[in-house]
Structure 1
Amino acid sequence: MARPRVFDVDKAVETATDLFWRNGYEATSLADLTAAMGITPPSFYYAFSSKYGLFKRVLEHYTTTRLSYAEDALNQPTARDVAEQTLLRLVDLYTDPTRPPGCLIMNNALPCNENSTPLHRELAGSRAARRARLCDRLIRAQTDGDLPADCDPDGLAGLILVVGWGLAFAAQSGATRDDLQRTVATALKAWPS
Structure 2
Amino acid sequence: MGRRRKFDVEKVLDATLCVFWRKGYEGASYADLTEAAGVERPALYSAFGNKEALFRQALARYYERYLDFIPQALELPTARDAAMHILYRSAELHTQYPDHTGCLGVNGVLAGSDDAEPVRKALIEARAAGEAQLRERFERAINEGDLPDNARPDVLAAFVMAVLHGMAVQAKAGFSREMLEAVAKQALSTWPTHSATDSEKSSPG
Matches within 5 A, 1:101-116: 101-112=101-112
Q: Secondary structure at the match of 2:97?
A: coil
Gaps (5+ residues) in structure 2? Answer: 194-205
Match of 2:64 in 1: 64
**Displacement of 1:116 after TM fit?**
6.1
Distance 2:32 2:116 in 1: 23
- The residue that corresponds to 1:167 in the other structure is 167
Question: Does the Cα contact within 8 Å between 1:19 and 1:28 map onto a contact in 2?
Answer: yes
C-alpha deviations, 1:118-156, integer Å up to 9, x for none?
Answer: 111100100100000000011001100101111100100
What's 1:121 paired with? 121
Aligned to 1:75: 75
TM-score of the two chains, using structure 1 as the length reference: 0.93
Offset at 1:38? 1.6
Partner of 2:130: 130
- Which is worse superposed, 147-156 or 40-49? 40-49
RMSD (Å), alpha carbons: 2.0
- TM-score, with normalisation over the residues of structure 2? 0.88
Gaps of 5+ in 1: none
C-alpha separation between the residues in 2 aligned to 1:140 and 1:115?
A: 40
Q: Paired residue for 2:35?
A: 35
Aligned length: 193
Work out the CA distance in 1 between the residues paired with 2:84 and 2:38.
Answer: 41
Q: Report SS of the residue matched to 1:24.
A: helix
Q: CA deviation at 1:26?
A: 0.5
2:90 aligns with 90
Distance in structure 2 (CA, Å) of the matches to 1:20 and 1:116: 13
Give the aligned residue type for 2:31. Answer: A
SS at match of 2:68: helix
Equivalent residue for 1:51? 51
Given that 1:21 and 1:103 are in contact with CA atoms closer than 8 Å, whether structure 2 keeps it comes out as yes
SS of the residue corresponding to residue 112 of structure 2 reads: coil
Deviation, 1:97, is: 3.4
Contact between 1:114 and 1:124, CA under 8 Å: does it hold in 2? no
Alignment correspondent of 2:145: 145
